[in-house]
């Protein structure tokens, strides 16, 4: 009778091919890494409290405390106060100017004409001319709340960008919505013109169509109660005249700007 096979022993040694596949119980034991061991070995540094700094660096901590409690220089306070006051004044001035501009709505005075006469044009030589021209200037103050004063006024007569006469006007004032008329008499005596301009003027006189330009330059002072401000105005009128001796205004185009 055959005997049954023996059951394997709990303490038997596994075979060679199974020995490598079976992990050793020691491998399951946690082995801390190098960085972990260093972390475990390091001791926590003490917190850098003011007491710790005072004990370690007594002189340095005293200096730090003195610097933190240093008082501000009075000159800096004075400069700050002056800058603050100046800023407030600038803001108030800007707000006041804006309010005045919105309430008053200032407009530029107007320079225009509706009458002019060309009395004389004759040539002493091909480049020298003599002339007599009368210009009636209309000055209008379109503002309803502002008075205007012309502190300086000069008017010039041009032909093809060549000045042939000029005239100044005495200072005068205009109240609100007022219109004034000033008669300006231009006299040209032996005025030298470039030859091509002189020939063009002769051609226009022959064709009964003379083109003149009147240019005005004015310094205007505007008043609103106790407030005053001045600025420059530049005006230009392009005129089409008939030929002398009875030359009249046929067409015009005037513009005024700052």
- 54 by Cβ neighbours in 10 Å (0-12 / 13-18 / 19+) ranks as middle
Q: Does domain 110-257 have CATH number 2.60.40?
A: yes
Q: Which residues contact 125 (CB under 8 A, 6 or more apart)?
A: none
Tokens of 140: 């209008």
Is residue 256 a contact partner of residue 150, using CB atoms and an 8 Å limit? no
Phi, then psi, of 176 in degrees rounded to 5: -65, 135
Do 169 and 216 touch, CB atoms closer than 8 A? no
| pLDDT the model gives residue 3 | 52
DSSP-assigned beta bridge partners for residue 152: 219
Q: According to the model, what pLDDT value does residue 126 have?
A: 75
What is the rounded distance in angstroms from the CA atom of residue 62 to the CA atom of residue 50? 10
pLDDT of residue 142: 92
Give the model's pLDDT for residue 167: 94
**Burial of 221 (C-beta count, 10 Å sphere; 0-12/13-18/19+):** middle
Nearest alpha-carbon partner for 156 in 118, 186, 183: 186
Q: Which residues pair with 171 in a beta bridge?
A: none
Residues of the chain with pLDDT below 50 are 1-2, 9-13, 17-22, 24-44, 61, 64
Q: In the prediction, which pLDDT does 54 show?
A: 56
In angstroms, rounded to a whole number, what is the distance separating the alpha carbons of residues 196 and 183?
Answer: 31
Residue 232 near residue 217 (C-beta atoms within 8 A): yes
pTM: 0.63
Q: What pLDDT score was predicted for residue 38?
A: 45
For residue 233, what are the β-bridge partners?
Answer: 218
Look at strands 128-140 and 147-159 and give their pairing. Answer: unpaired
* Domain chopping of the chain, boundaries: 33-68, 79-108, 110-257
Of all helices (H) and strands (E), which one includes residue 251? strand 247-257
């Amino acid at each position: 009778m055959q005997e049954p096979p023996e059951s394997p022993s709990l303490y038997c040694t596994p075979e060679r091919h199974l020995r490598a596949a079976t992990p050793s119980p020691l491998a399951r034991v946690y082995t801390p890494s190098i960085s972990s061991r260093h972390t475990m070995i390091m001791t926590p540094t003490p917190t850098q409290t003011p007491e710790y700094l005072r004990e370690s660096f007594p002189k340095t901590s005293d200096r730090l405390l003195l610097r933190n409690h240093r008082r501000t220089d009075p000159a800096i306070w004075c400069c700050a106060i002056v800058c603050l006051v100046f800023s407030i004044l600038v803001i108030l001035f800007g707000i006041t100017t804006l309010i005045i501009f919105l309430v008053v709505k200032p407009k530029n005075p107007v320079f225009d004409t509706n009458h002019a006469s060309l009395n004389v044009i004759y040539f002493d030589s091909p480049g020298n001319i003599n002339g007599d021209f009368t210009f009636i200037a209309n000055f209008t103050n379109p503002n309803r709340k502002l008075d205007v004063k012309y502190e300086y006024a000069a008017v010039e007569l041009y032909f093809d960008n060549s000045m042939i006469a000029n005239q100044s006007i005495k200072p005068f004032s205009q109240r609100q919505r007022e219109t004034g008329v000033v008669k300006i008499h231009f006299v040209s005596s032996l005025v030298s013109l470039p030859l091509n301009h002189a020939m063009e003027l002769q051609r226009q006189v022959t064709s009964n169509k003379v083109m003149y330009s009147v240019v005005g330059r004015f310094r205007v002072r505007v008043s609103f109660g106790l407030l005053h401000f001045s600025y420059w105005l530049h005006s230009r009128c392009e005129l089409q005249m008939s030929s002398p001796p009875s030359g009249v205004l046929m067409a015009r185009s005037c513009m005024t700007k700052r």
